[in-house]
Amino acid sequence: MTETEGYVGRSLALLQKYPVKIGDLISITTRQGVYEGTLMTRYGYADDHHIVIKLRSGYNVGISIDRITDISRVAEAAGPKYVTPPNRPAPTDLPKVTIISTGGTIASRVDYRTGGVRPALSVEELCASVPELTAIADIDSEVLFSLYSENMASDQWSALALKVAEKVNNGSKGVVVTHGTDTLGYTAAALSFALKGCPVPVVLVGSQRSSDRPSSDAATNLIAATVTAANAVFSGIFVAMHHDLSDDTISIHRGTKVRKNHTSRRDAFESVNSPCVAFVKNGDITVVSKDIPHRREGVTLMPQPKFEKKTALLKFHPDFDPEIIDHLVSRGIRGIVLEGTGLGQVASRCNGAIKRAIDGGVLIAMTSQCIWGRVRMTVYDTGRDLLSIGVIPLGDMLPETAFVKMMWVLGNTKSSNDSIRLMTENLAGEYMSRRPLTRRKNAA
**Residue list 26-55, contact with a second copy (CB under 8 A):** 43-45
Query: Phi/psi at 71 (nearest 5 deg)?
Result: -135, 135
Specify the residue, 44 or 89, whose C-beta has the smaller distance to a second copy. 44
Residue of the chain from 7, 145, 186, 408 that contacts a second copy (CB under 8 A): 186
Specify the residue, 141 or 369, whose C-beta has the smaller distance to a second copy. 369
The Cα 205–Cα 202 span in angstroms is: 10
CB of 116 to a second copy, least distance (A): 5
The Cα 217–Cα 330 span in angstroms is: 46
Task: For residue 430, state whether it binds a second copy (rule: CB under 8 A).
Answer: no
| 85 in Cβ contact with 160 (< 8 Å) | no
Task: For residue 342, state whether it binds a second copy (rule: CB under 8 A).
Answer: yes
Catalytic option among 21, 167, 257, 260: 260
Interface with a second copy in residues 142-181 (CB under 8 A): 148-154, 157, 181
| 225 in Cβ contact with 175 (< 8 Å) | no
CB of 439 to a second copy, least distance (A): 4
Residue of the chain from 372, 413, 416, 420 that contacts a second copy (CB under 8 A): 372
The number of beta carbons lying within 10 Å of the beta carbon of residue 142 is 13
Task: For residue 437, state whether it binds a second copy (rule: CB under 8 A).
Answer: yes
CA proximity to 340, closest of 359, 317, 309: 317
What DSSP character marks residue 294?
A: B
Is residue 286 flagged as an active site residue?
no
The Cα 397–Cα 366 span in angstroms is: 9
Specify the residue, 298 or 318, whose C-beta has the smaller distance to a second copy. 318
Distance, C-alpha 420 to centroid of its chain: 28
Return the sign of the alpha-carbon dihedral for residues 440, 276, 285, 152.
Answer: negative
| 1 in Cβ contact with 16 (< 8 Å) | yes
Size of the site for a second copy (CB under 8 A): 90
Residue of the chain from 235, 271, 401, 412 that contacts a second copy (CB under 8 A): 271
Strand order from edge to edge, sheet including 311-315:
311-315, 335-340, 363-368, 392-393
> Which amino acid is located at 384 in the chain?
R
The Cα 320–Cα 375 span in angstroms is: 20
CB of 52 to a second copy, least distance (A): 11
User: Between 220 and 259, how does the x/- string for binding to a second copy read (CB under 8 A)?
Assistant: -------------------------x--------------
Residue of the chain from 128, 182, 351, 416 that contacts a second copy (CB under 8 A): 182
Is residue 310 flagged as an active site residue?
no
Stretch that binds a second copy, among 29-37, 266-274, 293-301, 358-366 (CB under 8 A): 266-274
Specify the residue, 296 or 384, whose C-beta has the smaller distance to a second copy. 384
Residue of the chain from 109, 179, 374, 405 that contacts a second copy (CB under 8 A): 374
Specify the residue, 114 or 169, whose C-beta has the smaller distance to a second copy. 114
User: Between 82 and 121, how does the x/- string for binding to a second copy read (CB under 8 A)?
Assistant: --------------------------------x-xxx---
List residues bridging with 24 in a β-sheet: none
Stretch that binds a second copy, among 26-34, 94-102, 292-300, 310-318 (CB under 8 A): 310-318
The Cα 157–Cα 184 span in angstroms is: 11
List residues bridging with 200 in a β-sheet: none
Specify the residue, 303 or 399, whose C-beta has the smaller distance to a second copy. 399
What DSSP character marks residue 299?
A: P
Which residues, including other chains, have CB under 8 Å from residue 322's CB and lie 6 or more apart?
349, 350, 352, 353, 354
Task: For residue 218, state whether it binds a second copy (rule: CB under 8 A).
Answer: no
Task: For residue 417, state whether it binds a second copy (rule: CB under 8 A).
Answer: no
| 158 in Cβ contact with 115 (< 8 Å) | no
Specify the residue, 81 or 290, whose C-beta has the smaller distance to a second copy. 290
Is residue 382 flagged as an active site residue?
no
Query: Phi/psi at 271 (nearest 5 deg)?
Result: -80, 130
Query: Phi/psi at 443 (nearest 5 deg)?
Result: 20, 130
Catalytic option among 41, 134, 181, 183: 181
Specify the residue, 168 or 177, whose C-beta has the smaller distance to a second copy. 177
Q: Are strands 335-340 and 311-315 parallel, antiparallel or unpaired?
A: parallel
The Cα 232–Cα 206 span in angstroms is: 19
Is residue 424 flagged as an active site residue?
no
Residue of the chain from 109, 254, 260, 405 that contacts a second copy (CB under 8 A): 260
Residue of the chain from 403, 411, 429, 430 that contacts a second copy (CB under 8 A): 403
Residues annotated catalytic, as ranges: 105, 181-182, 260
